[in-house]
Amino acid sequence: MALQEAIAADDVNQLYRLIEGDEYLIDRGSEGPFPHTALHDAANQGKTKLAMELATLRLLFTRKLNCGGYSPMHLALQNKHYPTVRALMSLDPELIRVRGRGGITPLHFVAGKIGDNEQEKVELLELLAEFLSTCKLSIEDLTNQCETAIHVAVRTGNTEAFKVLFGWLRRVNLTQILDWKDQNGDTILHIAALKKQPEVYSSLIS
């Protein structure tokens, strides 16, 4: 319980006092194939300082999937702890490419997520752009349904995310990704037509 209290308080000094008393403290529960580590807890709660300290001590924890199929960055995203997401990204940009449940990476998640209000919408679009600029190859990652992030954006009707992704693909000369097919054999153009998204459709054929 003491460790959970340190996490809840985002108290790095308390963490180290606990480690001095038990040097194996943060490793407990991390041995199994799907561990839920202290880093998962810190990221889940948006405790950025402690999350970064734990990630520094145990970098391997940042890529571990828990029993739900989620990495610490996935949990931070799900709970809208965007400063924690950015902090973890600064430690290791490749965390953007960690495939979790359904093969969904943090990039896929953000591409499909529409914020609940204008402020969150803007923040998610900014985070999407940061992900792309920080880890260019993440755009090539596929879900278990063979979907790229732009497939996900179109399928979920996230038009603003599509615009960010489409503009970025053109700037970096990766527009061939627009022709990639998902597991159903659909390109982004097919999905836009099926979902009746004329704005997306017209952008793709212009």
Q: What is the mean pLDDT of residues 155-164?
A: 96
Per-residue CA distances from 11 to 4, 16, 47, 49, 196 (Å): 10, 9, 9, 8, 50
Calpha distance 169→166 (Å, rounded): 5
The share of the chain scoring above pLDDT 70, in percent, equals 100
Per-residue CA distances from 179 to 69, 82, 104, 151, 162 (Å): 29, 31, 20, 10, 15
Q: What is the mean pLDDT of residues 161-168?
A: 97
- Residue 103 CB: number of other CB atoms within 10 A? 15
pLDDT band at residue 169, thresholds of 50, 70 and 90?
Answer: very high
pLDDT greater than 90 at residue 181: yes
Query: By C-alpha distance, which of 6, 86, 77, 69 is closest to 38?
Result: 6
Domains and CATH numbers, the chain: 1-91 (1.25.40.20), 93-206 (1.25.40.20)
Q: For residue 195, what pLDDT is reported?
A: 85
Q: Which residues contact 194 (CB under 8 A, 6 or more apart)?
A: 186
Q: For residue 200, what pLDDT is reported?
A: 86
DSSP 181: -
pTM of this prediction?
Answer: 0.94
User: HSE on the CB side for 195, CA within 13 Å?
Assistant: 20
Could you read off the pLDDT of 21-50 as tens digits, one per residue? Answer: 999 999 987 777 788 899 999 999 999 999
Print the SS3 string covering 48-82.
Answer: HHHHHHHHHHCHHHHHCCCCCCCCHHHHHHHCCCH
Per-residue CA distances from 158 to 15, 52, 129, 195 (Å): 40, 31, 14, 11
Could you read off the pLDDT of 46-104 as tens digits, one per residue? Answer: 999 999 999 999 999 999 999 999 999 999 999 999 999 999 999 999 999 999 999 99
Calpha distance 65→82 (Å, rounded): 19
Calpha distance 202→149 (Å, rounded): 19
